[in-house]
Amino acid sequence: MDQANGISRSSLNIRKIPFEFPEDLEPHWNASKPEWSHMVNGASLVMPYLEPYLIRAERMGMKQIDDPDLRALAGDYCGQEGQHYRQHKRFNDILVSNGYVGLLELEKQMQRDYDRFLEKRSLRFHLAYAAGFESMALAVGHWLVKDRETLFGGSDPRVASLILWHFVEEIEHKTVALDVYNAVVGDYFYRLYGLFYASFHVMAMSRRAYRSMLKKDGLWNRLSSRLRLWKEVGRFFGQVLPHMLRCCAPGHDPRQIDDPQWVLDWLQAYEDGQGSVPILDTTTLAGPLRSPAVA
């Protein structure tokens, strides 16, 4: 059994979020941080195209793996990712219905990118991309949890709960894509290529999306907005890049990275809620996890 800092990884729980996103949900879901809101919205737009691709990659990799435990974990990983992209699609559709129709063309471009990968690229590339993205996602997850009050304090609790649920599970399944890559491919230098290719590919797609939304809002060409955006982007790179560089070590193993206590508390809150995803109280994010409502 793979266990790190209290999380058993002999299997993964495939969780669903039953709470709704209303049609009038405010796209600036963190009213004090419209640029940050759109950075997250832009990343969300990628998920319904990225994550089905990751699922396809892992399912192809599973066929090359003899270890039944790793095959089972990879299947659970696919189940979690399937839940992620479906929930993001619901959220993204509300963004479009709120007038951000320029996102529709960007979604088509994202789908074309991943279709092209599946048509023209090798299994080695698919698995390196998946392992690379998951390495970045682990770094992002640690940052979001550590700075949760700054990033999500006072925001719409449904959106904060969606994003943090997603990244709790990114931390939970942090070993799977790399284990599959190592079992099937195992090339260290190609793993590094996958890490940086996947990370910057996803970042570029996200940037196109949040730029489109900021332009729609009339903020993109405002110096004050651009300065706030640069501050948020700088915060992202300052927190995420050190984690990504740690992943470049030849013997990198995500099991060596302790899971944040808040993540363990979230998982316990899920169990205490008898299998329901907790809706976070975004007024008390600085302290221990409190869940005023359970969906």
> The tokens of 234 are what?
């700088």
* Backbone torsion region of residue 175, taken as left when φ is above 0, otherwise alpha when ψ lies between -120 and 50, otherwise beta: alpha
Whole-model pTM: value is 0.94
Please write the tens of the pLDDT for every residue from 77-128.
999 999 999 999 999 999 999 999 999 999 999 999 999 999 999 999 999 9
Please write the tens of the pLDDT for every residue from 245-263.
999 999 999 999 999 999 9
Query: Alpha carbon of 169 to those of 9, 34, 128, 197, 226: distances in Å?
Result: 11, 26, 20, 23, 32
Residue 1 pLDDT greater than 60, yes or no = no
Please write the tens of the pLDDT for every residue from 123-146.
999 999 999 999 999 999 999 999
Three-class DSSP labels, 148-160: HHHHHCCCCHHHH
Residue 274 pLDDT greater than 90, yes or no = no
Distance (Å, whole) CA 187 – CA 181: 9
Distance (Å, whole) CA 186 – CA 29: 42
Q: What is the CATH number of domain 30-289?
A: 1.10.620
Residue ranges covered by each domain of the chain: 30-289
Distance (Å, whole) CA 271 – CA 263: 13
Q: Provide mean pLDDT across the span 155-160.
A: 94
